[in-house]
Amino acid sequence: MSALDQMYQQVILDHAKRPHRKGLRELEVDAGVVGESHQVNPTCGDEVTLRVGVSREPDGGFVVRELAWDGQGCSISQASISVMTDLVEGLPVDEVGLISGKFSELMASRGKGLDSDEDEDLLGDAAAFTGTSQFPARIKCALLGWAALKDSLARSGALAS
């Protein structure tokens, strides 16, 4: 196993062991909206309920301010949700859409990763799931949290405009 693969595996283990922002709670975002989504991955038994709080900015855009979630399932699914919340908190919703698209591309890369280093930088710790994309059965595990994020943003109304 390469040093990079080892580092990636450690990221996943750390997040699976101590997931960030786990525990559902009321989100209070000033002048904002909140969306929630429940997603399941029946092939593996993974589940997540994700809440996202989004603020409406003076320029009309939306920014992800707070996330909270609860879930159960395999290490890949739970670690991927945790990494995702680290990555997107504080970002404009437009940028979240871009990163989410790059993560889907990564999951379709069959273990090769993304061609552009800039794109991999955008993914931050989520690049740790590069190896997961070699295993078709696990790809849905890694994508579960991202599906919940997209749906909860849609339900909040932040994707409407």
* DSSP states of the chain: --HHHHHHHHHHHHHHHS-TTBS------TTEEEEEEEEEETTTTEEEEEEEEEEEPTTS-EEEEEEEEEEES-HHHHHHHHHHHHHHTT-BHHHHHHHHHHHHHHHTSTTS--S-HHHHHHHGGGGGGTGGGG-HHHHHHHHHHHHHHHHHHHHHTTT--
What minimum distance in Å lies between the beta carbon of 57 and Zn ion? 35
What minimum distance in Å lies between the beta carbon of 97 and Zn ion? 24
Dig out the tokens for 120 from the structure: 């991999």
What minimum distance in Å lies between the beta carbon of 129 and Zn ion? 12
Which CB atom, from 24 or from 74, has the smaller least distance to Zn ion?
74
What minimum distance in Å lies between the beta carbon of 46 and Zn ion? 4
What minimum distance in Å lies between the beta carbon of 75 and Zn ion? 8
Which CB atom, from 39 or from 152, has the smaller least distance to Zn ion?
39
Residues engaged in binding Zn ion (CB under 5 A) = 44, 46, 73-74, 77, 141
Which CB atom, from 47 or from 151, has the smaller least distance to Zn ion?
47
Dig out the tokens for 152 from the structure: 């909860």
Cβ-contact 132, 75 below 8 angstroms: no
Which CB atom, from 19 or from 53, has the smaller least distance to Zn ion?
19
Which CB atom, from 32 or from 73, has the smaller least distance to Zn ion?
73
